[in-house]
Amino acid sequence: MQSDSTSGHVVKPAPSQAELLYEAQQRQTRNFRTNVGLSWGILLLILVYLFSGQNFLGIKTIHLDFEFIRNNMFFIAGGLGQTLLVSVLSIILATILALLAALGRLSTIPPIYALSTFYVSLIRGTPLYLQIFFFFLALPQLGIILTGLMAGVLALGLNYGAYMSEIFRAGLASVGKGQREAAIAIGMNPWQTMKRIVLPQALRFALPPTGNEFIAMTKDSALVSATGFVHEVMWRATRVGRAQFHNLEALIMAALFYWVMTLILSYVQGIIETRLSKGDR
């Protein structure tokens, strides 16, 4: 802080125009955040009210059996571990496949390029639900008997790998041509260029969207319950729901668990994104 030179004695300096502007901006951001928070609260209250079963001012709401919910809440939540396990294993497989497919896509060797595009086309052109059943039902004929979990992870991994290969391709493409040329100029071979120059930069670009895919995958992992062998959230919800004739309650509970899980994962994702963007210039 500088003292005011014109008045001759030291006083608290009047805030500069820039400081005033900055403060106003801060206030606006705070106000905006508070209002968003409040609106969220109101929307949440409306949602809760919609499921309260109360009949107020002639507005019909959905009636739920809360005793069933209380009795089965923990049982359904017990599937969260399996859901996360399937998602984590699948995203690891998907990341590896996506990277390979993206590299293959950039390859100038015809069979490798073909393999990569064939894989992406085949997987993206068929439904995930069908792929899960395919690995569960077809592979035993080849003598490969996968558990429900492995078949699910294979299908989810292959499926997301195909979609994520586009992310990785974009990541690789985001590294400027000049970078590669510079690497070659200082005498690196293609492998070194890839490992030391292109991949580190591409991965930083590809990581946030990969996190998004992971969040999406936690929900698609529900499809794995179709084979009946992975006792994750959706499987547990449908079984107790059907046997006790409370499908609606059971599914709403599962929905709530998925939502909370994605909220937490999105939060973590936000932190990672801020961290990664710090180095950006």
Partner 1 sequence: MKKLYSVLVIAILASLVLAACGAGGAKATNLLDAIKQRGYILVSTDPNYEPQSFLNTEGKRPSDTKCPADALTTAEMQGFDVDVAKAVGDDLGVETCFATPSWDAITAGNWADKWDISVGSMTITTARQQILDFSIPYYYTPAVVAVRADSGITDLAGLEGQSLCAGSATTYEQWLNHDMTGLGLPEASIYAQAPNVTVVPLETDQECAQAIASGRNDFVGYVTSATVVDANIAAGFPVVKLGTPVYSENLAVAFDKKSSLPSDTLRAEVDKLFTAMHSDGRLAELSNKWFSSDLTQDPS
Helices (H), 107-224: 110-124, 128-137, 148-174, 177-185, 190-192, 199-220
Smallest distance, partner 1 to C-beta of residue 243, A: 4
CB nearer partner 1, residue 79 or residue 171: 79
CB nearer partner 1, residue 120 or residue 149: 149
CB nearer partner 1, residue 7 or residue 141: 141
Smallest distance, partner 1 to C-beta of residue 45, A: 25
DSSP string, 219-258: HHGGGGGGGS----HHHHHHHHHHHTT-HHHHHHHHHHHH
CB nearer partner 1, residue 115 or residue 207: 115
C-beta of residue 230 within 8 angstroms of C-beta of residue 148? yes
User: Two tokens at 223?
Assistant: 């499809």
Give CA separation, 84 vs 78, 164, 215, 218, 228, in Å: 11, 19, 10, 7, 17
Smallest distance, partner 1 to C-beta of residue 38, A: 34
Give the Cα separation of 228 and 147 in Å (integer): 11
C-beta of residue 151 within 8 angstroms of C-beta of residue 139? yes
Give the Cα separation of 278 and 281 in Å (integer): 8
Smallest distance, partner 1 to C-beta of residue 277, A: 39
Question: What is the rounded end-to-end Cα distance, in angstroms, of the chain?
Answer: 29
Smallest distance, partner 1 to C-beta of residue 73, A: 10
Closest CA to 158 of 70, 217, 227: 217
DSSP conformational letter for 140? G
User: Two tokens at 100?
Assistant: 């390979």
Closest CA to 80 of 272, 270, 266, 259: 259
CB nearer partner 1, residue 68 or residue 258: 68
Smallest distance, partner 1 to C-beta of residue 198, A: 21
Smallest distance, partner 1 to C-beta of residue 245, A: 5
Give residues in contact with partner 1 (CB under 8 A): 71-72, 75, 109, 111-112, 115, 136-137, 140-145, 147-149, 226-231, 235-236, 238-240, 242-245, 247-248
CB nearer partner 1, residue 87 or residue 269: 87
State the DSSP H helix or E strand holding residue 269, giving kind and residue range, or none if neither: helix 247-277
CB nearer partner 1, residue 62 or residue 268: 62
CB nearer partner 1, residue 63 or residue 275: 63
